[in-house]
Amino acid sequence: MTRTFRRILAVSTLALLSSAPLLAQATPASDNAFSPTHRPLELGVLAQGGIGLTEDRSSFRFFALGGRAGKVLTSDIGPGLLRGNFEYGIEFFPLWQSYTPSIDKRLCTGPAVCSAPFKTGGTYTGLSITPIMLKWNFTGSGHRRLVPWVQGGGGLIWTNHKYPAVGGPPYDAFNDGSAANTSVWNFTPQFGVGLHYFLKPRRSIDFGANAIHISSASLGDKNPGVNASVQFSVGYTWWK
């Protein structure tokens, strides 16, 4: 290696090292919280509401307010548009409500020993927790403001009255009045899709649509449940 070549190499190396900070400043930052080396923590608030879908539950309405916590567990993996990361999350709604029609009910102690009809149903208030929420974030290039996701999970709902109400036929214990009940506990297997819209690399607005099944798993005498509901959510998330 000639002395001239060594001088050229030394000068070139010095120039490259000197320009590194400028190159770093010129390189655009990621538009979202995900990167190959960072597995962020998610903390957010959200509101959720929707309707029952099946014919006998089409008049049911739902509303909830709460929050979400999640932790990205993997780096970005996968090819092309399927590239993404796996996240584990928990959702908690300290306010959960369902608005249902009022129906007639009678308390019976035998086939011909029943109370006068009275109204039940209406508004149910409680809380909901989903301790298992598995999400896949489609990060793509890792530099987009829009990050779609899919998720699946399961949880519990507790209500201040046994939900949903049962009354006359077909939920009639003695065919001439209803002594049957459901449960204050219901399970919520669910599947959803949505997206994060990043306002900043560590701040996002989140939109989701979830198909939720509500069932007591026969904890009560009857298990009418809500076979299918669709519930939409909007939230705001801080990424750490």
Instruction: Tell whether the model's pLDDT for residue 168 goes beyond 50.
Output: yes
pTM of the model: 0.79
Query: For 32-36, 96-100, 142-146, which range has the lowest pLDDT when averaged over its residues?
Result: 142-146
pLDDT band at 35 (very low <50, low <70, confident <90, very high): confident
Q: What is the mean pLDDT of residues 3-29?
A: 43
pLDDT band at 179 (very low <50, low <70, confident <90, very high): low
Report the range out of 28-37, 73-82, 92-101, 107-116 with the highest average pLDDT: 92-101
Ramachandran sector of residue 15 (left: φ over 0; alpha: ψ -120 to 50; beta: rest): alpha
Distance in angstroms (rounded) separating the CA atoms of residues 54 and 60: 10
Percent of the chain surpassing pLDDT 90: 57
pLDDT band at 63 (very low <50, low <70, confident <90, very high): very high
Ramachandran sector of residue 144 (left: φ over 0; alpha: ψ -120 to 50; beta: rest): beta
Instruction: Tell whether the model's pLDDT for residue 191 goes beyond 70.
Output: yes
Instruction: Tell whether the model's pLDDT for residue 142 goes beyond 70.
Output: no
pLDDT digit string (tens) for 195-218? Answer: 999 999 899 999 999 999 999 998
- CATH code of 3-239, in short, is 2.40.160.20
pLDDT band at 140 (very low <50, low <70, confident <90, very high): confident
Burial of 109 (0-12, 13-18, 19+ CB in 10 A): exposed
Question: What's the Cα-to-Cα distance from 42 to each of 48, 90, 92, 136, 204, rounded to whole Å?
Answer: 18, 10, 14, 14, 10
